[in-house]
């Protein structure tokens, strides 16, 4: 993927680390799908650190309970919540703060 989309990056020189605070990936999915995602990432040489929380982020990396990870780029992909207007609608929200939808919502 790096080679195709970012021609000036040498994929062999890139180090990708995925830090996940939970004991598995994709916690909302079946265990077999979580395990499949983990295997796929490892095949792509992504270092996956499960049960590792991020305590600090700065311009040079992140801090975890296990120690610091220096990084040139940190991409934060957590903490997503439903938009504030959803709370004002008075509808019940999911545990993640999103509005639940189903097939009847689109009828």
Question: Based on the domain organization, do 63 and 100 belong to the same domain?
Answer: no
Mean pLDDT of the chain: 84
Question: Based on the domain organization, do 36 and 13 belong to the same domain?
Answer: yes
Q: Residues near 62 by Cβ (< 8 Å), separated by ≥ 6?
A: 19, 54, 55, 56, 68, 69, 71, 74
Share of the chain above pLDDT 90, in %: 48
Question: Based on the domain organization, do 72 and 85 belong to the same domain?
Answer: no
Question: Based on the domain organization, do 35 and 66 belong to the same domain?
Answer: yes
pLDDT of residue 1: 62
pTM score: 0.68
Where residue 41 sits, what CATH number does that domain have? 3.50.50.60
Q: How confident is the model at residue 60 (pLDDT cuts 50, 70, 90)?
A: very high
Summarised one tens digit per residue, pLDDT across range 73-86 is 898 886 656 667 77
Q: Which of 36-45, 59-68, 83-92 has the lowest mean pLDDT?
A: 83-92
Domain span at residue 33? 2-76
Question: Based on the domain organization, do 44 and 6 belong to the same domain?
Answer: yes
Number of structural domains in the chain = 2
């Amino acid at each position: 993927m790096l080679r195709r989309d970012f021609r000036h990056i040498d994929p062999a020189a890139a180090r990708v680390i995925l830090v996940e605070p939970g004991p598995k990936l994709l916690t909302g999915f079946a265990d077999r799908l979580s395990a499949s995602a983990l295997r796929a990432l490892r095949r792509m040489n992504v270092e996956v650190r499960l049960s590792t929380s991020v305590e600090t982020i700065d311009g040079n990396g992140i801090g975890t309970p296990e120690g610091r990870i220096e990084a040139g780029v940190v991409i934060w992909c957590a903490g997503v919540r439903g938009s504030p207007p959803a709370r004002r609608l008075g509808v019940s929200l999911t545990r993640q703060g999103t509005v639940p939808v189903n097939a009847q919502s689109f009828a």
